[in-house]
Amino acid sequence: MIKNIVLTNFRNFSEYSLHDLPQITVISGVNGIGKTNLVEAISLASGSTWHRYGKITEVVKWGEKFAAIDILTNSNDPTKIRCVVQANRARFLVNTVEAKQSLVRDKITTLTFSPSEVNLFRGDPATRRKFLDALLFFISPEYANRWSTYHRALKQRNAALRHQQFSQLPIWEADLSQSAAVLLIGRNWLIRALETLYALEGTFNYLASPRKVLPLLPESGTLEENLASHAREIEDFLRDKWEELREKEKMVGFTLMGPQRDDWGMLVTFPNRTDRPIDIGTYASRGQQRMSVINVQFAALDLLERYCLNKPIWLLDDVFSELDTEHQKQVVSVASRYQTFITTTNAQYEGVNSVLEKNDTQLIELPQ
């Protein structure tokens, strides 16, 4: 759990602090006052890659040279985490010692819901890939390392294709295939695990690149066990596909096969709607999409709790708008199991009232 948080030069805050934080904190205020900035700061300081900014320098208050987020955790082993954003990069310190993001993720785990999450299933594939990757970065440091390695090698392979340096392609494909196998198997494993935990009658549909070329592998055991069982098989498959696509890639000048072209979706059967599962992104209403995303987050929280060193912290930005009373209560029921930060423009929502009736909660009203 987070005990204290201090923001310095972060977006609209010159200096802002919260101390002795309870299990659930509700942050209320009008639009534009800085509610979202608070949950964004916690997400950024946790090493999460799931943020709303375009360039990281956007979090630095106008006219200032840096922004800082200081967090003190409240656990058996209290930890000081500091994130400093300066010169277009974020630096992390754990107990005053410079640290990698992977170490920070071992100390604090977060999951964020924001209004834009409703676009998870109807938006572009890059958004869906980013959602899976953000979860896997917390679950597996190896996945995070392989993600970086893959995209560095992919950049070099694409450059070789553009500049017609075709003799270099096999060199980059060795690194690519090993890292790509980790990414493909990791996402496959995660989707299977989420499907198992999903609260509704849901069926995930994993569309590897190109669509449906790579079938879902059976979910069995941990991510590491899946990697050990299937990595060589996927590496061989990818090298064969790149060889098959070689002439076409020479013409287009970029890599046509790999994790950078993944997509996934979800099929759900809604009561009184149809007997057949429908594609959430195409046929579900906005309200159904919103609740489906929230249910995926229920499953993700459970998964993070199982596989991470720390119980996840749930960051809910404007979650109650567009939800009826019954669904607000569902969110509150799950939120009460975790340390949760909830932002709202309306402290009179039924969900907010339900939260504040519980023990170990507080309401913070940001002044205009």
Please give the annotated binding residues for ATP, written as ranges.
29-36
**Do 45 and 71 form a contact (C-beta atoms < 8 A)?**
yes
| Cβ–Cβ under 8 Å, residues 202 and 268 | yes
CA 344 – CA 365 distance, rounded (Å) = 10
3-state DSSP assignment of residue 126: helix
Query: What are the Cα distances from residue 196, in Å, to 179, 201, 212, 219?
Result: 26, 10, 21, 9
The three-state secondary structure class of 221 is coil
DSSP 199: S
Torsion region of 322: left, alpha or beta (phi above 0 gives left; psi -120 to 50 gives alpha):
left
Question: Which of 144, 141, 231 shows the shortest CA–CA distance to 188?
Answer: 231
Instruction: Give the span between the Cα atoms of 42 and 6, in whole angstroms.
Output: 10
Token look-up 């700061």 returns 41
Q: Give the three-state DSSP class for 12.
A: coil
Name the binding residues.
Answer: 29-36
Q: Which residues contact 2 (CB under 8 A, 6 or more apart)?
A: 21, 42, 71, 72, 73, 74, 108, 313, 339
Please say whether the dihedral angle defined by the alpha carbons of residues 206, 209, 210 and 213, taken in this order, is positive or negative: negative
Alpha-carbon gap, residue 321 to 340, rounded angstroms: 17
The secondary element (H helix, E strand) that includes residue 361 is: strand 361-365
Tokens of 205: 């549909």
Q: Positive or negative, the Cα torsion across 114, 120, 122, 125?
A: positive
CB burial of 285-309 (b: ≥16 within 10 Å; e: otherwise) equals eeebbbbbbbbbbbbbbbbbeebbe
